């Protein structure tokens, strides 16, 4: 085995390593794009849900007054007092 054979094998190894690295980077880029797409979709879904919840809350407190929360009891409210023994 001469020096030319060693150089040829080294070139082959380097070429294989470069191809493997290129493939790895490509796969990593694809996985990153997929992940970013999933995050974007999840974020969009979360924003949409938050908007729905906000709209539901507004609907409950706006309008004809049927759904307004009860007023807090006052100190004069007899329903909050315990009966005398």
Model confidence over 26-75: pLDDT tens digits? Answer: 999 999 999 999 999 999 999 999 999 999 988 888 765 555 555 666 66
Q: CA-to-CA distance for 5 and 71, rounded, in angstroms?
A: 92
What pLDDT is attached to residue 60? Answer: 84
DSSP notation for 31-50? HHHHHHHHHHHHHHHHHHHH
59's CB contacts (< 8 A; 6+ apart) are 67
Query: Does residue 79 register a pLDDT over 90?
Result: no
* Burial label, 55 (beta-carbon count in 10 A; 0-12, 13-18, 19+): exposed
Q: What is the pLDDT of residues 5-18, one digit of tens each?
A: 898 999 999 999 99
Q: What is the dihedral of CA 14, 19, 22, 28, to 10 degrees?
A: -110
């Amino acid at each position: 085995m001469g020096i030319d054979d060693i150089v040829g094998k080294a070139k082959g190894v380097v070429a294989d390593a470069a191809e493997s690295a290129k493939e790895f980077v490509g796969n990593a880029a694809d996985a990153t794009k997929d992940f970013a797409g999933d995050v974007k979709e999840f974020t969009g879904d979360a924003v949409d849900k938050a908007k729905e919840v906000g709209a539901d809350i507004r609907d409950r407190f706006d309008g004809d007054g049927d759904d307004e929360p009860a007023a807090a009891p006052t100190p004069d409210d007899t329903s909050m007092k315990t009966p005398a023994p």
